Amino acid sequence: MREARLTIAFDADDTLWHNENLFEEHHRKYCQLLAEYHDAETVESTLFRTEMRNLELYGYGVKSFTLSSIETAIKLTDGAIPAEELRRIIDFGKDMLAHPVELIEGAAEAVEALSRQHELILITKGDLRDQERKIAKSGLAPYFKHIEVVSNKNNEDYARLFRQHLIDPQSLVMVGNSLKSDILPILELGGTGVHIPYHLTWEHERVEAAPKHHSKFHEIASIKQLQDLIASL
């Protein structure tokens, strides 16, 4: 017997390709740049508060992160940071935007195989231009029936997308690395969530605990295990 056809939604960053490791490297270089002014803990905590304050204005992504990095550097140096060092922060951001797309091991194989039997959609948040670049460079776009770049991922955003594409959330499986953005909203809408943890998690995306006792929650260690899990649902 053929498996029942499912609608499977994928997150992109840190689910299909590496992303947070680039931000981690930026943080390392940024703290080194500001080391003569403040310790790394102060730099990191101040930058995070600036990012949270600016989310409503800038949204998510490298450009937002770079603007918040510049603002934080000016604040932490009382405006004394040289223009050359501000230029280096801008260059950090440009390097991130130009970085090659590095697929997570097994992602291409899983997406290609699942697309033969199921309908796939991609739902990712962040800067539109940067996300479009990564999607194109990934080579995975042809496997998705719909590709959506959204400014946020919450219940309302997902519900709107599902109405737009005539998708019943109760028959949908969402695959992602973020419990907060990819899994919990889907569970609340009645869908199935498959969590694939990434080894790095941005502080803003952290939650206290996974909903391990939820009947529609699943967690796997690698995307290589996804096909077997989908077959078992």
Number of domains, the chain:
2
In a domain, 220, yes or no: yes
For residue 209, what are the CA distances in angstroms to 38, 134, 140, 219?
33, 30, 31, 12
Residues 11 and 126 in one domain: yes
Task: Give Cα separations from 233 to 73, 113, 215 (angstroms).
Answer: 49, 16, 11
37, 70, 98 - which closes a domain:
98
Q: Are residues 162 and 80 in the same domain?
A: no
Domain boundary among 43, 64, 98: 98
Domain match, 40 and 139 both:
no
Half-sphere exposure of 104 (CA within 13 A, CB side): 25
Residues 30, 44: one domain? yes
Residue ending a domain, choose from 83, 98, 113: 98
Domain assignment of residue 86, yes or no: yes
| Whether residue 156 is found in the same domain as residue 73 | no
Tell whether 124 is covered by a domain.
Answer: yes
Q: Are residues 28 and 77 in the same domain?
A: yes
Residue 1 forms part of a structural domain: no
Amino acid symbol at 158? Y
In the DSSP assignment, the letter for residue 103 is B
**Single-letter residue type at 47:** L
Asked if residue 74 belongs to a domain, the reply is yes
CB atoms within 10 A of CB 182: 27
- On whether residue 120 sits in a domain, the answer given is yes
Q: Does 77 lie in the same domain as 157?
A: no
Record the pTM.
Answer: 0.92
Distance separating alpha carbons of residues 48 and 56, to the nearest angstrom = 14
- Residue 214's Cβ-side half-sphere holds a number of Cα atoms within 13 Å equal to 22
Indicate if 149 and 88 belong to the same structural domain: no
Same domain, 177 and 94: no
pLDDT tens-place values along the chain, 233 residues long: 455 689 999 999 999 999 999 999 999 999 999 999 999 999 999 999 999 999 999 999 999 999 999 999 999 999 999 999 999 999 999 999 999 999 999 999 999 999 999 999 999 999 999 999 999 999 999 999 999 999 999 999 999 999 999 999 999 999 999 999 999 999 999 999 999 999 988 888 888 788 989 999 999 999 999 999 999 98
Question: Residue 43 is part of a domain; what is its CATH number?
Answer: 1.10.150.240
> Where in the sequence is the domain holding 77, given as residue range(s)?
20-98
